[in-house]
Structure 1
């Protein structure tokens, strides 16, 4: 089936936020409430939503300032479409829209680093983070324990 790619959210390209929330749950990227997704997508300069037969099968976004930094995050692919290259295509679309920024940063789920390395991303040696739930971040392998 042909995929429909949307890069804007507006009256013509409305999003079913409940459907997007379900996609993140089954991808699995965790629980992201619809209202939270609406807020973070509104704040993101670049968006990528992929539909197949009217059903949302992939999504991703990039927070960007238009010049210095673009941060790609929340790339999710429906389990039925995982392994088909759709995730790679979503990341490539967001990287292309981010061209011209001094740096493009991507936050990966622990264990997925080799996938992103194939797409040109390199591990940062100086990245630091503060997590609201630090014990969970440590348990998931996202940050080192002191």
Structure 2
């Protein structure tokens, strides 16, 4: 396995397809290019020229590093690539006061083995709230109209 952080080697159409089949959703190549360019840390794994895994962390260098978008090609799943990329991004993020990881529902036990703990105070706004609720990413709002009164 060849590891790199060099995004100049990345074919963004191939990375977009990786996210689709991983499956982590449809992410446009141009959006991925921008997201990775704006991320302090990134990891890509290749096997014999094939993009096998990718991930990134958005970080400020001091307070917070946010690990996200870890994807492993289905052909390479079950070989420890997810663990390796999460570990590499976690280690690159050391020194930040907090390292936050965004995980898909059901993967929490996997990340707990790497030292991550569930947050009790995390909140999110999704562009497609209904889809996020259906996927189990957020709970339905308990707001009973308070927003309209303020």
* TM-score category of the 2 structures, normalised to the smaller one: over 0.9
Point out the structure with max Rg over C-alpha.
2
| Helix, strand or coil at the partner of 1:24 | helix
Q: In 2, Cα distance between the equivalents of 1:7 and 1:42?
A: 11
Which runs of 5 or more residues in structure 2 are unaligned? 143-150
| Helix, strand or coil at the partner of 1:80 | helix
| Helix, strand or coil at the partner of 1:101 | coil
Q: 1:121 aligns with which of 113, 116, 132?
A: 116
Residue 52 (structure 1) aligns with: 47
The reply to whether residue 22 of structure 1 matches residue 17 of structure 2 is yes
Which runs of 5 or more residues in structure 1 are unaligned? none
TM-score by length of 1: 0.94
The reply to whether residue 66 of structure 1 matches residue 66 of structure 2 is no
Q: CA deviation at 1:81?
A: 1.1
Residue 9 (structure 1) aligns with: 7
Q: CA deviation at 1:111?
A: 1.0
Q: CA deviation at 1:8?
A: 2.6
4+ residue runs over 6 A deviation: none
Residue 148 (structure 2) aligns with: none
